[in-house]
Structure 1
């Protein structure tokens, strides 16, 4: 169903171009022409690693997590699902105290919970990557909801950011994007309500049909067109 009075994306793109300097800059920054990865070929350990990294980066200094990440890979057997699920409780207790990682016990135990989720999905679908690859492309918020329900600490922007880092075509509910949808009175309730997320998804789908751009690129360009991020790569 068409959304009445939705701003044509060409107008949003033109604002982004004016702010960033040129169409080529906007397209490069938005990744409009980036090749799409074969999600089905991403191994289960990389999904678990990215989910885990995003959980630790949430509410923390990303740079510190990046510096510590080789230690995480070493401590958790390169996020090998079967090895992680075979660890006894006393080994988990030791891992939570290991100085090679960020010692946050609650977040560490999310690794175990999400390994279990990925294992169960893989048993049913062949691999977690295959499950993601087969998910309906227009049901972005449905995938978010699935991760939130069945995973550990993958709600909010944590799950969506992890998906995008691995190449899943997803928009994000960034501050700039939220500001746009509120300014144009497309949403008026909580950002994480199903009503708001459905409206946002429908807007992106209409823009996708208009332009042929992926959701990730649309989301980035929309953020370039609002807020304080004016300076481009000149």
Structure 2
């Protein structure tokens, strides 16, 4: 089973703010935690990108993916599903030679498959965001975790979304990947209670 992988924790010596314990000292990672993680994301394309990157993370750490995010965006045409569904064998081979991304054939082909499913969902439900957010009734689930070791790897909600997306044909959408996606997209607020990001939440 895929396990959520956190980086080694180090202290940012120039910042007195208290953050979730998984944040390391890299300014890139700090900015991601402070400005993106756990904030409600309701843009179809951005949600698709995030879900694809979470799938790419399987077996790796999110920190690894985050450092490659711009390369992923360039390689996959800004994660435009309309363009991705047109990828053929030559494009797949090109991607597999790209050192800026995760060169895993199953994951690359999974993005292409998932782009087709994305378009089906948009056609059927009117929007990708509307469909995904329906699993939490359109409102973030705000948890009350005091420590990182209390945060679950999956929940019944992620089980349900995972099952539904798999049924529609998506790849790399197991329940642990989906829960990480729900946390990152703000469908679930799992900032620990001591984190400054909980202010005003």
TM-score class, shorter-chain normalisation, is 0.5 to 0.7
The yes-or-no answer on 1:46 pairing with 2:46 is: yes
TM-score (norm 2): 0.61
- The residue aligned with 1:144 is 162
The yes-or-no answer on 1:110 pairing with 2:113 is: no
- The residue aligned with 2:40 is 37
Contact 2:56–2:65 (CA<8 Å) still a contact in 1?
yes
When residues 156 and 86 of structure 1 are mapped into structure 2, their CA distance, relative to the original with a 3 A threshold, is same
Contact 2:135–2:161 (CA<8 Å) still a contact in 1?
yes
State how 1:1-234 maps to structure 2 within 5 Å: 37=40, 39=42, 42-43=43-44, 45-135=45-135, 137=137, 140=157, 141-150=159-168, 151-169=170-188, 216-217=189-190
Unaligned runs of 5+ in 2: 1-16, 21-36, 142-155, 197-201
When residues 129 and 102 of structure 1 are mapped into structure 2, their CA distance, relative to the original with a 3 A threshold, is same
Query: Deviation per CA, 1:91-143, whole angstroms, max 9, x where unpaired?
Result: 12221222221211111111111111111000111110111233353972322
Contact 2:41–2:185 (CA<8 Å) still a contact in 1?
no
Query: 1:70 offset after TM fit, Å?
Result: 0.8
When residues 75 and 126 of structure 1 are mapped into structure 2, their CA distance, relative to the original with a 3 A threshold, is same
Tell which structure's C-alpha radius of gyration is larger. 1
Unaligned runs of 5+ in 1: 1-24, 170-215, 222-231
The structure with more helix, counted as a fraction of residues: 1
Contact 1:52–1:111 (CA<8 Å) still a contact in 2?
yes
TM-score (norm 1): 0.53
Aligned length: 146
Query: 1:47 offset after TM fit, Å?
Result: 2.0
Q: CA RMSD in A?
A: 3.2
| Corresponding residue SS for 1:135 | helix
